[in-house]
Chain A
Amino acid sequence: MSAEVKDRITAVQATIILANYTIAAGVLTLPRTIVEASGSPDVWISIFLGGLISFLLGLVIVKLSQRFPGQTFFQYIGKIIGKPLGVVLSIGVIGYFLSIAGFEIRSVQEVTSFFLLEGTPPWAIVAAFIWIAFYLCRGGINAITSMCRLIVPITWTVFLGVCLLSFEVFDLNNLLPVLGEGMEPVWKGIRPTILTFTAGEAMLFVVAFMDKPQKAVKVIIAGTCISTIFYVLAVVATIGAFSIDGVLTRTWPFLDLVRSFEVNYLIFERFESLLLVIWIMQIFCTFCVAIYAAALGLSQIIHRSFKSCLLALLPVVYIVSRIPPNVNALFALGSGIGDCMLILFGVLPLPLLIITYFRRAAS
């Protein structure tokens, strides 16, 4: 399956992949980063606006991909801007996906070894993660899709359940007044939101696998809506519990939200372990999609078999995940990746689309 894509997925499956890819480690820290940037409880408006912008960026990528049916970004980029430039850009995109994978896996490791498995060596956590991802990705896009579909009911139920249960510590006053300081804080909050919405770039290759690529616009609409709902819920629940001042003091605000209440007379009294375990699955999805994209890109550029490329990338991901020396550096890496995303997938696709348009018009 190196050159031509054989696997096919439906629009619903593509939506699930997209949503799962978007919702990842960002939720755990988003309430803090977004309040840091804006300093007002109106950040939920920023998330809606950020979702809208992210949708528009994704739309450009979808339109671009739809012009080359059955081909991934790595295959068609050369046809737009020429082979050498295309390879450079592809390597950039591969590097981006690798950084995402490294970032996610490091986040999992930090959270897990802090809250869940204190004393377990980091490499043990990461190794299990990487090898299972390797096993899964060997099965191709269909295997990833099945896995995403499998975990969606579990993770989404637990997430929504936890948000509902957090009503116990919710205080509406923490979210008021709405627009008390005008729209300025709302604008400021948009940037961290967009950085967390890593959605559109998945469409660079997902569209190629779709049996009906014309439905890709619907996919990006649905995918963005789902992730927007998740982010808004997480941020509203967290700020409602901690107030904007309190959120600023929490390293992992969303996890602390779940840790800050106990439920009596339910099967479980505490939900942080449950949420964490399930969130690891969610991050695992993102990790698999990212590393799959990177390996796919590599195999299509150098025309080697997908599986050997995948295997070759595993150590790279591990090294990337070990680069940040501490948690601060990890968060810095996260926002660095977000900035790269803005350039790679926010600024670039539009000129590419325009070039494509004129080339086709000329021929």
Chain B
Amino acid sequence: MKKWRLWIVLTVLCSLLSGCWSSVPIEELNMQIGVALDSAEESGGEEVANPEGGSHKKPEKIISTYQFTIPQGSGGAVMKSSASSSSSSFKNYYNMSETSDSIFEAMRQLSLRTRRTPIGHHLKVIVISEKLARSNNLTKIIDFFTRDNDIRPSVMLFVSKGMAKDVLENALPGQTPAFVLEGIFNNRDRNMGIWEPVSLAKVVGPLQGKKSFLLQNVIPIDQETKLSGAGVINGETGKLVGFLDESELEGMAWLTGKGLGGVLKTYNPDTNDLLTYEVKTMHSKIKANVNNGQISFNVKITSTGRYAEVFAEKSKKLHDGIVKKDKALLQKRVLEMVQTTVTKMQKELHTEAAGFGTSLHNQHPAVWRSVKDNWDETFSQIPITYEVNVNIEEYGASDTTAE
């Protein structure tokens, strides 16, 4: 009586347990972990075989370089990177480049060269070259990545002075460039030259809302990559307008209070002795004032930290008088850096990416509505005052005194 039910269950189980519907064995997959996008015009000779008589030439061609992992233990360690076969060390990644004006097409062209299917679930970083970012709206460049279903909006964006693909070539032995770039943000509490990580999710809003923002700049040096300041993306055009160097980026960290910790270095003007302060916390508050239609800003920066390095002829006792003097020196240094950054934004880049607009919007919404369409130009004329308060909380293990 119940036997037929058993048979149905067995049949169903057989068909269901045989495996997942659209499964692909993992050895068959090529995991994309990094993408570098370069303008094809700036490279001398393309290493990539281009089909002759390419029919589509209209928009700017982009060299897309994809970084894939070579899974350990699948014979991958024996394979060498195709690009730098001269390097003696084995690499656990390899790069493939394709040139097309469509990033999607470039990726699919990889399927003409390798059997394994590229998958985007594990893409970590996208590096965009300076030239490409200067001449194209970023919205277009990242459109494929924000539209795709595999690629997550958590992918980090970088810009690179020079060729972006070089960034993905370089890593210390045993390391993978894309993973290094992703993990380097863990050092944000150690160095203020690292801007906050900016993911795809964090740029779609500003690009759509025409707000300017920063992208970390990464450059290749020898065997490694290095973070070096930040590129400034203008919200109005969506294009890269310029770079902040490392110290200007530190100024930006002070200005926005986004730094998590790092180094503040200055010199005693009398003795030329070095004084280094370790930043433990920093905060900044931008107050917008509107008087008779005149906008002005007041930036209040506070920080706590400790002496990290104090040079002196002989060991100096850090009594309150000296601490006070040092504090004033440090505050002066912060002020200099912040002012340099603001001057650069106002006079050179004509782009405001530090959140002054946001403060004005939040504090005086009506005023903001009247100036937002021409904000970058308006901003370059706005007077800004600063209050910096650095509080040296502890003196390290040396030289303290209870006087």
Q: Report which A residues bind B (CB closer than 8 A).
A: 114-115, 117-120, 124, 169, 173-174, 176-177, 180-181, 241-250, 256-257, 259-262, 270, 272
Contacts and interface: CB of A to CB of B under 8 A. Distances in A.
B153 A256 contact: yes
A243 B235 CA distance: 14
Contacts of A169: 199, 201-202
Contact of B152 (A114, A117, A247, A259): A259
Contact of B204 (A114, A242, A262): A242
Contacts of A256: 153, 201
22 contacts: A117-B22, A118-B22, A119-B21, A169-B201, A169-B202, A174-B205, A177-B365, A180-B361, A180-B362, A180-B368, A181-B365, A243-B209, A245-B208, A245-B209, A246-B206, A256-B153, A256-B201, A259-B154, A259-B201, A260-B152, A260-B199, A270-B152
Interface in B31-64: none
Q: What's the dominant secondary structure at chain A's contact region?
A: helix
A276 to B, nearest CB: 12
B374 interface: no
Interface string B333-359: 000000000000000000000010010
Interface in B112-166: 146, 149-150, 152-154
A264 to B, nearest CB: 9
* 8 tightest A-B CB contacts, nearest first: A246-B205, A245-B209, A180-B365, A260-B201, A243-B205, A119-B22, A245-B208, A260-B153
Given A180-B361, A180-B365, A246 B208 contact: yes
B247 interface: no
Contacts of B362: 173, 176-177, 180
Contacts of A248: 208
B276 to A, nearest CB: 31
A162 to B, nearest CB: 14
B154 A249 contact: no
A59 to B, nearest CB: 36
Interface of B: 21-22, 146, 149-150, 152-154, 199-202, 204-209, 211, 355, 358, 361-363, 365, 368
A270 B22 CA distance: 21
Contacts of A243: 205-206, 209
Residue of A119, A174, A245, A250 with most chain B CB atoms under a 10 A cut-off = A245
A135 B199 CA distance: 44
B201 A246 contact: yes
Contacts of B363: 177
Contacts of B205: 174, 242-247, 249
A242 B209 contact: no
Nearest to B124: A262
Given A173-B355, A180-B361, A249-B146, A261 B208 contact: no
A43 to B, nearest CB: 15
A177 B364 CA distance: 9
Contacts of A272: 152
Contacts of B209: 243-246
A260 B200 contact: yes
A29 to B, nearest CB: 16
Contacts of A176: 358, 361-362
Contacts of B150: 118
B204 A246 contact: yes
Residue of B204, B205, B208 with most chain A CB atoms under a 10 A cut-off = B205
